[in-house]
Amino acid sequence: MTAFRSAALVAATTLAALSLSACKKEGVVAKDESVESVAKKVDESGIKPQPGRWESSVKIAKMEIPGMPPQAKEAMSKQTGQAQTFASCLTPEQANKPDAGFFQAGAKDCKYDNFAMAGGKIDATMTCDRGGQKLKMTMAGTYSETSYDIQVKSEGEVQPGMPMSMEMSIASHRAGECNGTEMTAAPPPAK
């Protein structure tokens, strides 16, 4: 489940940042650039996302890990198709000056192979290299100033020699002002 949570957190933080950037008219395009470089481009573009409470739902459509122990496979299959929900708070300070962490928490070992966001559409490919283990993610979907709906595909290794592929959807919308009950880290565990 660590692989799922890691991939879900990577996708959710990236997509929250992307979706909040909807006020950009001409868009942002990058190729073979670090997360920091993409964040700088977005900052320089004048994008000022709307602060507030964002409510999100993550649903795994497919997850395959060949050779997984039966108990772990059973637990994973119970999560497939089930939505996990969480809320996050984007402060005015974060909205006015997004940094690389805003775009991809814990992504110092990641880079965008391609990144395009314009005209209400998002299309990005990211590669992460964590200690020799590679994770490749593609993200595609739609966004507006107050919501997004993204499909994410990930392929990589849970551990050396143990491949993993996953497909999930993430939907989020701005639900008003922050009220102090929002999560600030990973999505809560499944119930």
Domain assignment present for 32: yes
Q: How confident is the model at residue 168 (pLDDT cuts 50, 70, 90)?
A: very high
What total of structural domains would you count in the chain? 1
Least confident of 36-50, 58-72, 110-124: 36-50
Domain assignment present for 19: yes
> Strand 147-159's sheet: what is its strand order?
28-34, 110-118, 121-130, 133-143, 147-159, 162-176, 52-64, 83-90
Q: Over the Cα atoms of the chain, what is R_g?
A: 16
Domain assignment present for 191: no
The rounded Cα 158 to chain-centroid distance in angstroms is: 18
Q: 142 is in which domain, residue-wise? A: 2-176
Domain assignment present for 33: yes
Nearest C-alpha neighbor of 55 from the set 189, 191, 190, 187: 187
Report pLDDT digits (tens) over 45-64. Answer: 665 667 899 899 999 999 88
pLDDT at residue 82, rounded to an integer: 87
Least confident of 6-10, 19-23, 33-37, 161-165: 19-23
Domain assignment present for 129: yes
pLDDT at residue 55, rounded to an integer: 92
Domain assignment present for 184: no
> What's the CA angle centered on 19, arms 14 and 24, to 5 degrees?
120
The pTM assigned to this predicted structure is 0.72
Is residue 66 over pLDDT 70?
A: yes
Domain assignment present for 137: yes
Residue identified by tokens 């692989």 is 3
Give the integer Cα–Cα distance in Å for 88 and 91: 10
Least confident of 45-49, 71-75, 77-81, 89-93: 45-49
Domain assignment present for 188: no
